[in-house]
């Protein structure tokens, strides 16, 4: 299986002012593309194959090292782009709205857990909304790690590596996370993932 850099699901300026086209030019065009190219280079000699990206990530986890780091970073970034949409965010509707109230107590409690999770992830990493054993949880992972390899179903993710937000927010990671939840979080994508969990 060959990795391919996905097209963004929206124009590179569609998420402004929350994420700038300049950030996307670096983050998608350079950072993500590097993971794709390096991942393909490593896959060529790895003897690992799969029918889909999720299974490929799980297979590469067993090998570890740079192979897993590059393939998982491709998966994580692809999931991040899909976790956002223009004119999105705020309170959800559909099944996930009921599950958030059930598992977190309220949308405000979910938002606090998500923003706190991302803000307290030391160094580089990710903050995820997942379904794990039928329950919604906020989890954070370091570097290339993903809850996919721990048996949870990812529903949405926010990238908290500095290159995801530094041009637009400098060191104000909590401001970026609040903007993500309030203005960018693609609840249609979350509901679609929840229906498969």
Give residue for tokens 């897993």: 68
pLDDT for the residue numbered 78: 98
Helix axes 95-104, 187-196, angle to 10 degrees: 80
pLDDT for the residue numbered 170: 93
- Give the confidence band of 143 by pLDDT, cuts at 50, 70, 90: very high
Q: What is the mean pLDDT of residues 4-9?
A: 96
**Chain segment 21-40, per-residue pLDDT in tens:** 999 999 999 999 999 999 99
Task: Decide: pTM greater than 0.85.
Answer: yes
Cα separation, 102 vs 98, in Å, equals 6
Q: What is the mean pLDDT of residues 176-184?
A: 97
- Name the pairing type of β-strands 125-132 and 153-159: antiparallel
pLDDT for the residue numbered 164: 87
- Give the confidence band of 197 by pLDDT, cuts at 50, 70, 90: confident
Q: Which two tokens stand for residue 129?
A: 């909304």
* DSSP states of 40-63: HHHHTTT----SSHHHHHHHHHHH
Q: CB–CB of 116/44 below 8 Å? A: no
Largest Cα span, the chain: 48
* DSSP states of 148-187: GGGT-EEEEEEE-SGGGTHHHHTT-HHHHHHHIIIIIB-H
Over 90: is that where the pLDDT of 153 sits? yes
- Give the confidence band of 163 by pLDDT, cuts at 50, 70, 90: confident
Cα separation, 85 vs 187, in Å, equals 9
- Give the confidence band of 49 by pLDDT, cuts at 50, 70, 90: confident
**Chain segment 65-99, per-residue pLDDT in tens:** 999 999 999 999 999 999 999 999 999 999 999 99
Q: Is 119 exposed, middle or buried (0-12, 13-18, 19+ CB in 10 A)?
A: middle
Q: Which two tokens stand for residue 188?
A: 């249609």
Full set of structural domains in the chain with CATH = 21-82 (1.10.287.990), 95-196 (3.55.40.20)
Q: By three-state DSSP, how is residue 93 classified?
A: coil
Over 90: is that where the pLDDT of 167 sits? no
Cβ neighbours around 137 below 10 Å, total: 17
């Amino acid at each position: 299986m060959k990795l391919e850099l996905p097209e963004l699901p929206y124009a590179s300026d569609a998420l402004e002012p929350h994420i700038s086209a300049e950030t996307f030019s670096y983050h998608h065009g350079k950072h993500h593309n590097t993971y794709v190219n390096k991942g393909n280079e490593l896959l060529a000699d790895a003897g690992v194959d799969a029918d889909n990206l999720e299974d490929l990530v799980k297979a590469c986890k067993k090998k570890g090292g740079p192979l897993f780091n590059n393939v998982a970073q491709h998966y994580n970034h692809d999931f991040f782009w899909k976790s956002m949409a223009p004119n999105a965010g705020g309170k959800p509707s559909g099944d996930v709205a009921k599950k958030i109230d059930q598992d977190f107590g309220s949308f405000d409690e979910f938002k606090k857990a998500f923003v706190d999770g991302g803000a307290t992830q030391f160094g580089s990493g990710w903050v995820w909304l997942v379904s794990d054993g039928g329950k919604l949880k906020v989890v954070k992972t370091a570097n290339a790690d993903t809850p996919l390899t721990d048996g949870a179903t990812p529903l949405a993710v926010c990238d908290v590596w500095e290159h995801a937000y530094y041009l637009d927010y400098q060191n104000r990671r909590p401001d970026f996370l609040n903007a993500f939840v309030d203005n960018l979080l693609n609840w249609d994508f979350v509901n679609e993932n929840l229906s498969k969990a």
